[in-house]
Chains A and B, each alone.
Chain A
Amino acid sequence: MKFSYYPGCTLKNKAKDLDRYARACAAALGIELIEPDDWQCCGGVYPLGKDEIAPKLAAVRVLADAAEQGNQLVTVCSACHHVLKRVNDDMKNDADTRERANRYMDLQRPYTGQTGVLHLLEVLRDRVGFDTLKEKVVNPLTGKKIGAYYGCLLLRPGDVMTLDDPENPRVMEDLIRALGAEPVVYPYRNECCGGYVSLGDKELTGRMCDRILESAVGFGAQMLLTACPLCMYNLRAHSDLPVYYFTELLAEALGVKEAAQ
């Protein structure tokens, strides 16, 4: 299995763990992740305006590069994944965006959304398979009760992200189960943590995180799992519960955590 791999800016910095463990796990699972030579930041948020082309170009560049390599593109950061998948959807289905972006980019070959964009969770579920993954676990996380926190960007809008049921997802729960731990399902796992609002209004994000944490703890979670550095930041700021990147626990279960550090 070979993929183009887009780490994104945060993973080169504050979220080094998310990246480091992802790479280690991929290697352990026989997945080759190829980082393009020169990528730029995806922009962090998907530009909602139909007429905003320039902010989408960084994403298009990465997508087109993967297409040139003939690879599908894997990300682990929820935000990058969101941006790349949605921009790709525009390139595939929105003629105006496609035309204008191609005009700006001046690529060798026009890019029309042919690259498949996958979150590492999708790779684990659909390509590796949780049953296979389970067999590769050397340190099962037995006895741990873990709540998956999806947040908003990973799942919505469901028709474009197509990662899972946007209202009642299960991919992370299945992952937790494959790692030998017990998933805790709680209803606020797909509600927003407050995102970038925490820059200006920590009180508001506090209230939002409290509701999420209250729900998770109430249903018995001992720790939380996330795929998003921003969720991680917000949740950690308001919680006593340990919060991990899913790649970290995956690395632990696969027995490659030490080596990655």
Chain B
Amino acid sequence: MQKIGVFVCHCGTNIAATVDVLRVVEAAAKEPGVVHAQDYPYMCSEAGQALIASAIRDKGLTGIVVCSCSPRMHEATFRKCAERAGLNPYMVEIANIREHCSWIHKDMEEATQKAIILARAAIAKVHLNTPLAAGHSQVTKRALVIGGGIAGIQTALDIAEAGYPVDIVEKNPSIGGRMAQLDKTFPTLDCSACILTPKMVEAAAHPNIRIFTYSEVERVTGFVGDFTVDIRKHARSVDMDKCTGCGLCQEKCPSRKTPDEFNRALGTRSAIYTPFAQAIPNVPVIDREHCIKFKTGKCGLCQTVCAAGAIDYTQSDEIVSEKYGAIVVATGFDTIKLDRFGEYAYDQSKDVITSLELERIMNAAGPTGGHLERLSDGRMPREMVFIQCVGSRCSDGRGKSYCSKICCMYTAKHAMLIRDKYPDVNVTVFYIDVRTPGKNFDEFYRRAVEQYGVNYIKGQVGKVAPLPDGRLRVSGSDLIDGKAVEITADMVVLATAIEPDPSARRLASMLTASIDTNDFLTEAHPKLRPVESPTAGVYLSGVSQGPKDIPETVSQAGACAAKVIGLLAKDRLTTNPCTAHSDQLLCNGCSACANVCPYGAISYEQREVNDHGVRGERRIAVVNNALCQGCGACTVTCPSGAMDLQGFSNRQLIAEVDAICR
């Protein structure tokens, strides 16, 4: 019989306000095997833990139940506490009487009754707990960063600086990401390229950093400290070692009509191309879909002009398999498609553009050479209208329910830059709210209004109607005046909602990292563990976790790097001992369990088994504890009940069921 101690936490008033803690203590004390029961205001505090430790020592407890907050919060705390007091940490069970009880119920009687039942279930379970010993696993001291934008670059640089090797995988031909597409950055109006390209160069030159561009993650196996990742390097058709980056091939390429992704398809590019002048690596790729050589077999001009002999039409995709201890997701964002917002006429007029397109138009290296002009006729606009929250804060299913966070600030930036450069252009911004939390942010927005005379109208736009003369009639509302207003504009800029890059979903599946309903990766704790995914060894950097601007992205990238460095600095990790094991007396050797094991952790052995004196050779399932992650799929597939899961055994779970139904 176990000697069990029960510790009931008040959590200040979080629990005690709705659960009569003393009655829980009383009820628990009456349960069989319980030799000690007490309450304390904050069980997780040092004093609370000291109480637990001394009870373990003084009363020789063999198992403890802590009735407190969610085990996801403090299970580890109490396990460590037990361990320090000489009790096996897996002899600890938590009854979640806060998140699952006191916080969801109002009635004291009801909540107290439920808390007692939850305590009983935990007591019933701990009766069947057995001491478990955690194993150890090695840490591969190398990190993988998926995504080569500012988030990925910064994270990689910080990890590399700490002395660990890092690989960056970027799906585009160059690193740089969205930030490379921006013209200026708020709130200080630095030129985006001027502050980004030095970091790109630094990453490329860093001895600890390897960059795989034009590459994608194909497969991930393994677990924290020991991931194996297959990276598909798409065929570049250009030999990276030979290419000198002279650019002659791009100049001579006769296929020039491909929409230029980097310029948001506002211009065109050649089939052999580098996305932008400062690309890293400065080695072009051949877009085989549009290359005449690949389409018809005729051409080969680039090969002819390449003095270095770097063009290689025979290259094929290459899979690189590499081991990593930690993986960082920094896959960034894209703007949403506007096909469900026909009222803004984005598909009906060339002069209705997204803000990201405006960035390219304003950029000296962009399709208009940095000159503000209408894409329909090249004329300078006189009247510009910016529309905020296009697809953001939209809960009707057409857009995104969240605030995209960056639009208020970049719109103020755009308005300011335009008014500064072209004082004759009238700028009107339709807004619902102007959101400027951040250092010097509100001051920045106010400057746009007070110093640059940007006309802010509180109200949303209901329709943008192209007029026969090529202008655009913007019908909006002015909520301060309480009326509908109309502005005839030359150009309309939509602050389009941002969404996680579409690759995030597939990647999250491969990493078994969870994503939320909007496809943003979920953090392990929204406040306390914001850069870690709930999946050990997977970390989050940049907008893949949620909308954020550049200063915030860079801070988060640093935080993420710190977490990765913390992991890589360890020589070994303790493994989860809650793994499956097979009872050789019960095992039929039928292979059903191996069929469902996602980790390939189950193999079969011919083994001589002594079954109550009868010896015989049997085919027996054997679990590799280093590979098993403890999901339990095998235990249910096993018809004979030979397969069981430590820590969540059949009998433990049934004991909980019985306690709840009692």
Interface residues of A (CB under 8 A from B): 159, 165-168, 185, 187-188, 191, 215, 218-219
Contact = CB atoms under 8 A, between A and B. Distances in A.
Contact of A218 (B342, B345, B467): B467
B468 A165 contact: no
Given A159-B397, A168-B347, A168-B348, A187 B466 contact: yes
B343 interface: yes
Contact of B341 (A159, A167, A218): A167
Classify the secondary structure of B's interface with A: loop
Contacts of B465: 187-188, 215
22 contacts: A159-B397, A165-B339, A165-B340, A166-B342, A167-B341, A167-B342, A167-B343, A168-B342, A168-B345, A168-B347, A185-B348, A187-B348, A187-B464, A187-B465, A187-B466, A188-B465, A191-B463, A215-B467, A215-B468, A218-B467, A218-B468, A219-B468
A193 to B, nearest CB: 16
Contacts of A165: 339-340, 342
A219 B343 CA distance: 18
A20 B339 CA distance: 37
A167 B345 CA distance: 8
Contacts of B347: 168
A109 B654 CA distance: 47
Contacts of B468: 215, 218-219
Given A215-B468, A219-B468, A187 B345 contact: yes
Given A167-B342, A187-B464, 7 more contacts: A165-B340, A167-B343, A187-B345, A191-B463, A215-B467, A218-B467, A218-B469
Interface string B332-368: 0000000111110101100000000000000000000
The 8 A-B residue pairs whose C-beta atoms are closest, nearest first, are A167-B342, A218-B468, A168-B342, A187-B465, A167-B343, A187-B466, A219-B468, A165-B342
Nearest to B397: A159
A166 B342 CA distance: 8
A238 to B, nearest CB: 18
A124 B645 CA distance: 61
A240 B484 CA distance: 29
Interface centre among A165, A166, A168, A219 (most CB of B within 10 A): A168
A219 B466 CA distance: 10
Number of contact residues on B: which range applies? Answer: 10 to 19
Nearest to A187: B465
Contacts of A188: 465
Contacts of B342: 165-168
Contacts, number: 28
A243 to B, nearest CB: 19
Nearest to B467: A218
B464 to A, nearest CB: 8
Interface string B452-472: 000000000001111111000
B60 to A, nearest CB: 60
Contacts of A185: 348
A215 B397 CA distance: 30
Contacts of B463: 187, 191
Contacts of A215: 465, 467-468
Contacts of B397: 159
Nearest to B349: A187
A167 B464 CA distance: 11
Nearest to B344: A167
Nearest to B464: A187
A34 B469 CA distance: 48
A153 to B, nearest CB: 17
Nearest to A220: B468
Contacts of A218: 467-469
A259 to B, nearest CB: 39
A119 B484 CA distance: 34
Contacts of B466: 187
A191 B348 CA distance: 16
Interface string B383-407: 0000000000000010000000000
Nearest to B346: A168
A138 to B, nearest CB: 33
A132 B268 CA distance: 37
A165 B348 CA distance: 13
A191 B473 CA distance: 14
A185 B347 CA distance: 12
Nearest to B347: A168
A34 to B, nearest CB: 36
A230 to B, nearest CB: 22
A183 to B, nearest CB: 13
A26 B467 CA distance: 37
Nearest to A191: B463
Contacts of B348: 168, 185, 187
A185 to B, nearest CB: 7
Nearest to A190: B342
B488 to A, nearest CB: 13
Interface in B224-255: none
Contacts of A168: 342, 345, 347-348
A159 B343 CA distance: 15
A159 B464 CA distance: 21
Contacts of A159: 397
Interface string B466-487: 1111000000000000000000
Interface in B502-519: none
A187 B343 CA distance: 9
A109 B1 CA distance: 65
A219 B467 CA distance: 8
A208 to B, nearest CB: 13
A52 B345 CA distance: 36
A129 B13 CA distance: 68
A246 to B, nearest CB: 21
Nearest to B339: A165
A168 B465 CA distance: 11
B77 to A, nearest CB: 48
B476 to A, nearest CB: 15
A93 to B, nearest CB: 15
A219 B339 CA distance: 23
Contacts of A167: 341-343
A178 to B, nearest CB: 21
A167 B467 CA distance: 16
A126 to B, nearest CB: 20
A219 B464 CA distance: 16
Interface in B562-591: none
Contacts of B343: 167
A178 B465 CA distance: 26
B463 to A, nearest CB: 8
Contacts of A219: 468
Nearest to B466: A187
A24 B464 CA distance: 39
B5 to A, nearest CB: 52
A215 B468 CA distance: 7
Contacts of B469: 218
Contacts of B467: 215, 218
Contacts of B464: 187
Contacts of A191: 463
A182 to B, nearest CB: 16
A166 B396 CA distance: 14
A257 B565 CA distance: 80
A219 B468 CA distance: 5
Interface string B406-442: 0000000000000000000000000000000000000
A88 B468 CA distance: 39
A217 to B, nearest CB: 8
Nearest to A217: B468
A207 to B, nearest CB: 13
